[in-house]
Structure 1
Amino acid sequence: MTTSIDVLGDLPTTAAHAADLFIATTRRQPEGPVHVVLTGGSTGIAVLRAIGARSSEIDWSRLHVWWGDERFVPAADADRNDRQADEALLAHVPIDAANIHRVAAADGPLGDDPDAAAAAYADELARHAPPGESCPRFAVLMLGVGEEGHTASIFPQSPAATDPNVACAVRDCPKPPPTRVSLTFPTLSAANEVWLMTTGAGKAPAVAQAINGADPLDIPAAGPRGRVLTRWLLDEAAASALPARD
């Protein structure tokens, strides 16, 4: 397993670089479905917009789209990661709706039950998994990093950090909305490539701690690692607490 750190000048150049990498990585995958995991947040959505600007370079018929976490709110709520991704990218590209795998909403058929939503998401992941595995072998799994070090919806000292299931309900999150559904560390680390993408000086301390091997219970961004590659995509501000690089 390799770790790489890509430091770009600012958010637009970080997003453009991530789009370059996404296109190259998805295009070199072997025949068959290509499973990718998207993330929200300001950096994640900027990346999706950058991908959308070059959407003609992607074979959307092969892609299956998932999310590392979702805010457990009604389907039309602007806080949902999938709604933001629709607006930034998915509503504008020729992807089959059946290949977009959404977490159940709080007003959906499962009702206001995040545990049921997490279990249903785990079942959906299992349906697309190779034999003997619990989820697809994701080609790319994108994650953001919060100022306190959270990633997906796993916050510091959260029970989600030690949950052994494929996906779990997360309650009492310190940032609104308080109830969410998240993939767990074992599932987040099932990807061939994990990309941790973030920008801004407020993220610098958490980024440095995560890269330097912090306890994932304290800094959850230290937890997910790709089977082949863990890639950090940072602007100069987010990388400012790292040692100087030649």
Structure 2
Amino acid sequence: MTNDRRVLVHPDNTALFGSVAARFITKTVDLLDDLGTANIVLTGGRAGTGVMSAINESSARDSVDWSRVHFWWGDERFVPAGHEDRNDVGARAALLDHIPVPAENIHPFPASDEVADLDEAVAVYTAELAKFAMDGNEVPRFDITFLGVGPDGHIASLFPDRPEVAVKDVPVVAVRDAPKPPPLRLSLTRPVLNGSDRIWLVLSGADKAAALGLGMAGASFHEVPVAGIKGRKRTVFFVDQDAAAEVPESLISPSY
């Protein structure tokens, strides 16, 4: 299985989010033609929500047969359902509430008022992943996984120098005392993320430049988690000019 790791630079957020949205729609149509269904892993934050809004605003949005697309999340904040901190709340407002995707195709992590505790939430989401897995796998075939990157290099809720970033034997991990609020979180583990066919990382802002530079330079994934992320087929960093400030010119692709 070949793997390309590319950095694509855009002049500003509008161009960045619009470009990712256009590529997502085109690729999803292709996936549905080839595979019949598509499994997409979403992220939160400024970039994740920006891309989903751009997908919703695209004139090509309705070219996708959303009834055959399943949505998952790479991580979630363990707070009550409907809380503004939850990634699924932002995703619904930006995109999911505006497209004809069946409710059963949306797979959010459990909320804190839906289960007894964080450990039960891990068990519930692990079971949900297994229910849609094939060929004896623990998780579904993830076709496109969106990830944001924090200024510290964290991805999903896998933070630097924390034990969760090294977990390999389970698909979902509980995060307690996270270094950024809220302290309780749920996250897919690094092997599950890296099992995705395509990982699309979307970064904007000068505060992401150092993390991106270290990640591309081969830093330890324990210290800079994004350095340990690589999709099975392709890994693309979609960035704006500010975030690309510390990426060597030789690593920047002129086209996709």
TM-score, normalised via structure 1 length: 0.97
Greater alpha carbon shift after TM alignment, 160-169 vs 65-74? 160-169
**Contact conserved, 1:25 with 1:139, CA < 8 A, in 2?**
no
Separation in structure 2 between the aligned mates of residue 15 and residue 118 of structure 1, nearest angstrom: 31
- Please report how far the alpha carbon of residue 162 of structure 1 lies from its aligned counterpart in structure 2 after TM superposition: 1.2
Q: Does 1:17 align with 2:19?
A: yes
Q: Does 1:159 align with 2:142?
A: no
Q: Does 1:42 align with 2:46?
A: yes
Q: Does 1:171 align with 2:176?
A: yes
Paired residue secondary structure (1:5): strand
**Contact conserved, 1:2 with 1:229, CA < 8 A, in 2?**
yes
**Contact conserved, 1:145 with 1:151, CA < 8 A, in 2?**
yes
Q: Corresponding residue for 1:33?
A: 37
Q: How many residues are matched?
A: 244
Return the letter of the residue paired with 1:183. L
Separation in structure 2 between the aligned mates of residue 123 and residue 4 of structure 1, nearest angstrom: 34
- Please report how far the alpha carbon of residue 168 of structure 1 lies from its aligned counterpart in structure 2 after TM superposition: 0.6
Q: Corresponding residue for 1:58?
A: 64
- Please report how far the alpha carbon of residue 123 of structure 1 lies from its aligned counterpart in structure 2 after TM superposition: 1.1
Separation in structure 2 between the aligned mates of residue 41 and residue 53 of structure 1, nearest angstrom: 18
- Please report how far the alpha carbon of residue 213 of structure 1 lies from its aligned counterpart in structure 2 after TM superposition: 1.1
Paired residue secondary structure (2:8): strand
Q: Does 1:131 align with 2:135?
A: yes
Q: Does 1:80 align with 2:86?
A: yes
TM-score, normalised via structure 2 length: 0.93
Structure 1 consecutive aligned stretches of length 4 or more whose deviation exceeds 2 Å: none
Separation in structure 2 between the aligned mates of residue 159 and residue 226 of structure 1, nearest angstrom: 22
**Contact conserved, 1:119 with 1:168, CA < 8 A, in 2?**
no
Return the letter of the residue paired with 2:219. A
- Please report how far the alpha carbon of residue 18 of structure 1 lies from its aligned counterpart in structure 2 after TM superposition: 0.6
Cα deviation per residue 1:141-163 (whole Å; 9 max; x = unaligned)?
00000001011000101111111
**Contact conserved, 1:6 with 1:233, CA < 8 A, in 2?**
yes
- Runs of 5+ unmatched residues, structure 2: none
Separation in structure 1 between the aligned mates of residue 152 and residue 82 of structure 2, nearest angstrom: 28
Return the letter of the residue paired with 1:205. A
Greater alpha carbon shift after TM alignment, 236-245 vs 144-153? 236-245
Separation in structure 1 between the aligned mates of residue 217 and residue 249 of structure 2, nearest angstrom: 14
Q: Does 1:94 align with 2:100?
A: yes
Q: Corresponding residue for 1:146?
A: 150
Q: Corresponding residue for 2:119?
A: 115
- Please report how far the alpha carbon of residue 57 of structure 1 lies from its aligned counterpart in structure 2 after TM superposition: 2.2
Larger helix fraction of residues = 2
**Contact conserved, 1:202 with 1:238, CA < 8 A, in 2?**
yes
Return the letter of the residue paired with 2:20. A
Q: Corresponding residue for 2:5?
A: 3
Q: Does 1:231 align with 2:236?
A: yes
- Please report how far the alpha carbon of residue 214 of structure 1 lies from its aligned counterpart in structure 2 after TM superposition: 1.0
Separation in structure 1 between the aligned mates of residue 118 and residue 23 of structure 2, nearest angstrom: 34
Q: Corresponding residue for 1:221?
A: 226
Q: Corresponding residue for 2:249?
A: 244
Separation in structure 1 between the aligned mates of residue 179 and residue 223 of structure 2, nearest angstrom: 14
Q: Corresponding residue for 1:181?
A: 186
Paired residue secondary structure (1:61): helix
- Please report how far the alpha carbon of residue 194 of structure 1 lies from its aligned counterpart in structure 2 after TM superposition: 0.5
- Runs of 5+ unmatched residues, structure 1: none
Of residues 69, 75, 79, the one that matches 2:75 is 69
